[in-house]
Structure 1
Amino acid sequence: MARALVSRPEIIFADEPSGNLDSKSGAGLLAFMRRAVKEFGQTIVMVTHDPTAASYADRILFLEDGQIVDEMREPTADRVLDRMKQMGH
């Protein structure tokens, strides 16, 4: 991730960036990504199924069958998980 951010691109695409990490390493990576957004104004588009990872975002778009079905701003892991439980019904 550091290599992707070091040149300060405007947009970074991250597919399950913390997916294969233990919880401590994952939290460190997500905090690092959050700092890149706040301190350097970078935009990170992240795909994740992890409510905790999603809670680091400013804005979440929920997709179902390739369509945007909901949006959430200022998410928490609990709010994201609750919304995810409603999907597919």
Structure 2
Amino acid sequence: MPFVIILILLLNLITFIIFGYDKQLAKNRTNRISERSLFLLMVFGGIIGGILGMLVFRHKTNKNSFKLVVFGIVILQLALLYFGLDFFKRFS
């Protein structure tokens, strides 16, 4: 279990850093990290780092379609967490 926690913390840190890096790329008007890549990082466990990156770096906060997908990811992960914990509680 501690390995999973460390992995999730590391993924959130990486996601946060990548949001900051993409913000710098946006300021310099160079090639950017795709939104799909940012979403995938958040889907696979970096949602907290992604949201913090959005807030701290003020990145993608004006783009409503992006915020809508982030909201969907949060809802999906909360549902998976709820049903996953319920499933394990029933069978343990």
The question of a shared fold, defined as TM-score above 0.5 by the shorter chain, is answered with no
TM range (shorter): 0.3 to 0.5
Q: Structure 1 length as normaliser, TM-score? A: 0.34
Q: Structure 2 length as normaliser, TM-score? A: 0.33
Determine which structure has greater relative contact order: mean sequence separation of CA pairs < 8 Å that are 6+ residues apart, divided by chain length.
Answer: 2
